[in-house]
Amino acid sequence: MKKLEVDKILEKNGWKKNKIVGILQDIQDVYYYLPEDVLIYISEKLNIPLSQIYSISTFYKAFSLKPKGKYRIKICLGTACHVRGGYIISEFLKNKLKILPGETTKDELFSFETVNCLGACAIGPIVVINEKYYGQMDVEKTEKLINKLK
Amino acid sequence: MKKINDIEELKKLREKLIKGKNKEGIVISVCMETGCIASGSYEIYKELLKEVKRLKDKKVKVLKTGCHGFSEVDPAIVIYPEKIFYIKVKVDDIDEIIEKTIQKREIIERLTYKDETTGEIIPYLDQIPFYKKQKKLVLSLNGLIDPEDINDYILYGGYSALSKVLFEMEPEEIIEEIKKSGLRGRGGGGFPTGKKWEYCRKAEGEPKYVICNADEGDPGAFMDRSVIEGNPHSVIEGMIIGAYAIGANDGFVYIRHEYPLALKRLSFAIQQAREYGFLGEDILGSGFSFDIDIVRGGGAFVCGESTALMASIEGKVGEPRAKYIHTVEKGLYEKPTCLNNVETWANVPFIINNGWEKFAEIGTDTSKGTKIFSLVGKVKNTGLVEVPMGITLKEIIFDIGGGIKGNKKFKGVQTGGPSGGVIPEKYLDLPVDFDKLNEVGSMMGSGGMIVMDEDTCMVDVARYFLNFLKEESCGKCVPCREGINQMLSILNRITEGKGKIEDIEILKEISDFMQKASLCALGKTAPNPVLTTIEYFYDEYVAHIEKKKCYSGVCKDLIEYFIDPEKCTGCQLCAKNCPVSAIEGERKKVHKIDIEKCIKCGICFNVCKFNAVERK
């Protein structure tokens, strides 16, 4: 953990207890997950019980307590993507990467999660890899994309 | 940017901007919102900038804008002043566009929209059927302004409603104006906005807060994202006016973290509004002060509920509370709080600028103005549409949406997200407004409209929404937490072919209990997708339970793929495409699907050129 980096985030949020959700968001933007030592540090600095921070980190779906892979894949399972077969892509990825949503491959190359809706419904099904959106996806296109990254 | 100190300076700035605008000749507008960027519009924009620079013609300008709405044909560009509309543009097309359309004013036919039935070429945006029946109030500037430039908004009259209320209207007059306009909450509930403001103004307690709910969680809905990505200042201006009317000095926008671009544009817009002095101390020298903070959501659907959202802003777990005391009296930090949705706030400047009469003349008796819908699913023209209230579902889906993709048969349309229901064919002539949708068991919701065809299984749709809600129920109250779980396990059983006919009655019974006993709207409305599908698509439930069949071919346990040996030519196309290598067979010999390995994705079914793969 880089204390300076975390301090900067706390500073940006005015060291305020009620900004804890925003603080965790900022932490996750840096590490892509919430490292345990960082949470302990924040708990001490802001005088918030660790249990409360744990409760918030597990309540909100945006947070992950597990490290993510180099390529973070999101499959949209919003209604529009669902009726166009988004769930088939998710099934396929489970098979292909041999992990469940929320997990990371052993080589730490890929992590994959399903999300409720990314709001790009008109061009569904949507796959997002790191921050790039891919529209009108199917299993074939997803496989090509993954193979290219390997 | 220099601070604008009074109304005169604002007027002068606008005049200067209009003068500059009049000197412009051709504007090429490129849609740059999340969906369009995913379709490749950023590359088009970069290339256009490069090529136009080479022209060295000051009268040609490239503009990045919010969404023009017609997502199906993205990336699309609009060339002003004629509004020439080019669809599915590729980087390779740009040289030709510059040479022919920009320099010689010629239309390139192959890039225009063609009417599918008549084959007619329609080069101009306004003449395309997708746009003809729309009425744009909130989205009127999408496509005309750069959302990252406050001057563009001011040029088209932006912040004039704010200066009008600050110097010409009393807070009570503003509230009266909004009440008379008949504006109702666009987040789905449809509560009269003016009344909400009035209650909040009259509520005791200081300070007061205004909140913009941009936690657009309904899957299949992206209206609010498009408003923020296309015209963020309209929301900000609406909020400042609301705050002035209510007597609040602090505002919050609670925005989904899944919308990074909207977040960026909103932050940018707030920053610019501050620099110009529309936010901050002593706005335009009126003595009124107000500022906005952005709070990012954490990906919890329940946080779209007002009390859960406020808990989340306070840095707590986003659980709702019972609303014996309304949030207009005790909301954020136990203080009077007025919460409205993005689209509601964005309607406010129009009403103030044009008067309540102009707004109230659009719509039905009980629902005034326009509503934005995201038209998605199995419809030909997917995209974002803004229509007058009272338009029929048929007009939206068939006239604007162009009907069903692949000439399949229409089955139903889902509105209102997980709180809404599926509306069947017999109600296609239903005029769309808050009350009419409620009457048929669905609801307006925030405006997602997901069109479903014969290949959509309605039992699966009900199961899908309950599965969604199972993940999203906060678990605080028992009816919602346990009710959803029980209903889901029954629906899972039915889709696996293990259902009993009594299950349908049990589903109805649990639904009734949840509607009466749940703490917040999430639980109270969770049964809607189940109840509407049971009511309108009863036969499908019976087919799953008694015949063990899913005629739409969706429920995996009830379907099987196999290869017809008579038709298979052994071309190996299916085997090559199978993602899990479940198809075996040598070249020119009959292939076979290994049922154990098959994930029933249907790729073989779709790729086979000889119709040899069958689904049973």
* Domains assigned to chain A: 3-59 (no CATH), 71-149 (3.40.30.10)
In a domain, B182, yes or no: yes
Q: Which CATH number is B531's domain given?
A: 1.20.1440.230
- Which residues from chain B sit within 8 angstroms of residue A117, using beta carbons? 217-222, 258
Whether residue B323 is found in the same domain as residue B205: yes
Nearest to A103, CA basis, from A64, A136, A140: A64
Whether residue B231 is found in the same domain as residue B345: yes
Does the distance separating the beta carbons of A133 and B579 come in below 8 Å?
A: no
Q: Which CATH number is B174's domain given?
A: 3.40.50.11540
- Which residues from chain A sit within 8 angstroms of residue B472, using beta carbons? 116
Does the distance separating the beta carbons of A121 and B221 come in below 8 Å?
A: yes
In a domain, B237, yes or no: yes
Query: Do residues A55 and A19 lie in contact, with contact meaning Cβ atoms separated by under 8 Å?
Result: no
Q: How far is CA B468 from the centre of its chain?
A: 18
Query: Do residues A128 and A120 lie in contact, with contact meaning Cβ atoms separated by under 8 Å?
Result: no
Measured between alpha carbons, how far is B540 from B457 in angstroms, rounded to an integer? Answer: 8
- Cβ neighbours of residue B311 closer than 8 Å, sequence gap 6 or more: B317, B318, B319, B320, B321
Nearest by CB: A56 against B72, B317, B601: B317
Measured between alpha carbons, how far is B433 from B439 in angstroms, rounded to an integer? Answer: 10
Chain B CA closest to residue A89: B601
Q: Which CATH number is B576's domain given?
A: 3.30.70.20
Nearest by CB: A143 against B316, B414, B579: B579
In a domain, B291, yes or no: yes
**Cβ neighbours of A100 (radius 10 Å):** 11
Whether residue B213 is found in the same domain as residue B334: yes
Nearest by CB: B298 against A17, A61, A96: A61
Give the pLDDT confidence score for residue B482 in this predicted structure.
Answer: 97
Nearest to B173, CA basis, from B134, B201, B143: B201
Measured between alpha carbons, how far is A99 from A93 in angstroms, rounded to an integer? Answer: 8
Q: How far is CA B441 from the centre of its chain?
A: 21
Nearest by CB: B219 against A18, A22, A116: A116
Does the distance separating the beta carbons of B72 and A119 come in below 8 Å?
A: no
Nearest by CB: A96 against B258, B464, B579: B579
Give the pLDDT confidence score for residue B35 in this predicted structure.
Answer: 87
Does the distance separating the beta carbons of B34 and A79 come in below 8 Å?
A: no
Range of the domain at B568: 560-615
Give the pLDDT confidence score for residue B78 in this predicted structure.
Answer: 95
Does the distance separating the beta carbons of A139 and B601 come in below 8 Å?
A: yes
Does the distance separating the beta carbons of B376 and A116 come in below 8 Å?
A: no
Chain B CA closest to residue A132: B38
Chain A CA closest to residue B71: A122
End of a domain among B360, B378, B410?
Answer: B360
Whether residue B270 is found in the same domain as residue B188: yes
From the DSSP assignment, how many helices (H) and strands (E) are in chain A? 7, 5
Give the pLDDT confidence score for residue A116 in this predicted structure.
Answer: 86
Whether residue B176 is found in the same domain as residue B312: yes
Nearest by CB: B222 against A63, A119, A139: A119
Q: Is A136 left (phi over 0), alpha (psi -120 to 50) or beta?
A: left
Query: Do residues B526 and B480 lie in contact, with contact meaning Cβ atoms separated by under 8 Å?
Result: yes
Give the pLDDT confidence score for residue B556 in this predicted structure.
Answer: 86
Residue pointed to by tokens 């002068």: B12
Query: Do residues B601 and A116 lie in contact, with contact meaning Cβ atoms separated by under 8 Å?
Result: no
- pLDDT, averaged per 10 consecutive residues of chain B (616 residues), comes to 91 94 90 89 95 90 92 91 94 95 93 89 94 94 95 96 97 98 92 97 96 92 94 98 98 94 96 97 96 93 94 94 92 97 97 97 96 93 94 96 92 92 95 93 88 94 94 94 97 96 97 96 94 96 95 89 92 86 90 88 84 88
Whether residue B319 is found in the same domain as residue B356: yes
Does the distance separating the beta carbons of B414 and A116 come in below 8 Å?
A: no
Does the distance separating the beta carbons of A92 and B35 come in below 8 Å?
A: no
Does the distance separating the beta carbons of B74 and A95 come in below 8 Å?
A: no
In a domain, B341, yes or no: yes
End of a domain among B407, B430, B453?
Answer: B453
Whether residue B282 is found in the same domain as residue B181: yes
SS3 A132: strand
End of a domain among B338, B360, B382?
Answer: B360
In the 8-state DSSP scheme, what is residue B224? H
Give the pLDDT confidence score for residue B115 in this predicted structure.
Answer: 87
Looking at residue B230, its amino acid is: G
**Cβ neighbours of B221 (radius 10 Å):** 29
Measured between alpha carbons, how far is A12 from A29 in angstroms, rounded to an integer? Answer: 14
Query: Do residues B302 and B472 lie in contact, with contact meaning Cβ atoms separated by under 8 Å?
Result: yes
Q: Dihedral sign for Cα B449, B450, B454, B460, please.
A: negative
Query: Do residues A99 and A51 lie in contact, with contact meaning Cβ atoms separated by under 8 Å?
Result: no
Measured in angstroms, the CA of A16 and the nearest CA of chain B are apart by 10
In a domain, B327, yes or no: yes
Looking at residue B437, its amino acid is: L
Whether residue B351 is found in the same domain as residue B387: no
Whether residue B154 is found in the same domain as residue B225: yes
Confidence band of A2 (pLDDT split at 50, 70, 90): confident
Q: How far is CA B97 from the centre of its chain?
A: 31
Whether residue B462 is found in the same domain as residue B588: no
Does the distance separating the beta carbons of B376 and A80 come in below 8 Å?
A: yes
CA atoms in the 13 A half-sphere facing the CB of B416 = 28
**3-state secondary structure string, B242-283?**
HHHHHCCCEEEEEECCCCHHHHHHHHHHHHHHHHHCCCECCH
- Which residues from chain B sit within 8 angstroms of residue A21, using beta carbons? 295-296, 298, 312, 315
Measured between alpha carbons, how far is B484 from B490 in angstroms, rounded to an integer? Answer: 10
Nearest to B505, CA basis, from B528, B530, B480, B523: B530
SS3 A111: strand
Strand ranges of the sheet holding B60-65, from the earlier edge strand across to the other edge: B60-65, B26-31, B77-80, B84-86
Does the distance separating the beta carbons of B383 and A121 come in below 8 Å?
A: no
In a domain, B299, yes or no: yes
Report whether the peptide linkage leading into residue A125 is cis, meaning its omega lies within 30 degrees of zero. Answer: yes
* Model pTM score: 0.93
Give the pLDDT confidence score for residue B137 in this predicted structure.
Answer: 95
Q: Which two tokens stand for residue B86?
A: 């080019």
Alpha helices, H only, B156-221: 160-168, 171-181, 193-202
Whether residue B411 is found in the same domain as residue B517: no
Whether residue B522 is found in the same domain as residue B419: no
In a domain, B66, yes or no: yes
SS3 A114: strand
Cross-strand partners of B255: B214, B296
In a domain, B142, yes or no: no
**3-state secondary structure string, B93-120?**
HHHHHHHHHHHHCCCCHHHCEECCCCCC
Q: Which CATH number is B380's domain given?
A: 3.10.20.600
| Domain count for chain B | 5
Chain A CA closest to residue B226: A119
**Cβ neighbours of B83 (radius 10 Å):** 16
Please determine, for residue A53, whether its predicted confidence score (pLDDT) is greater than 90: yes
Q: Which two tokens stand for residue B201?
A: 């103004």
Q: What is the pLDDT of residues A57-104, one digit of tens each?
A: 999 988 999 999 999 999 999 888 888 888 889 988 988 899 999 899
Q: What is the ipTM of this complex?
A: 0.91
Looking at residue B267, its amino acid is: S
Give the pLDDT confidence score for residue A88 in this predicted structure.
Answer: 86
Does the distance separating the beta carbons of A133 and B312 come in below 8 Å?
A: no
Does the distance separating the beta carbons of B222 and A120 come in below 8 Å?
A: yes
Q: DSSP for B347-384? A: HHHHHHHH-HHHHHTSB-SSSBSEEEEEEEESBSS-EE
Measured in angstroms, the CA of B409 and the nearest CA of chain A are apart by 15
First to last CA, chain A: 29
- Which residues from chain B sit within 8 angstroms of residue A14, using beta carbons? none
Report whether the peptide linkage leading into residue B219 is cis, meaning its omega lies within 30 degrees of zero. Answer: no
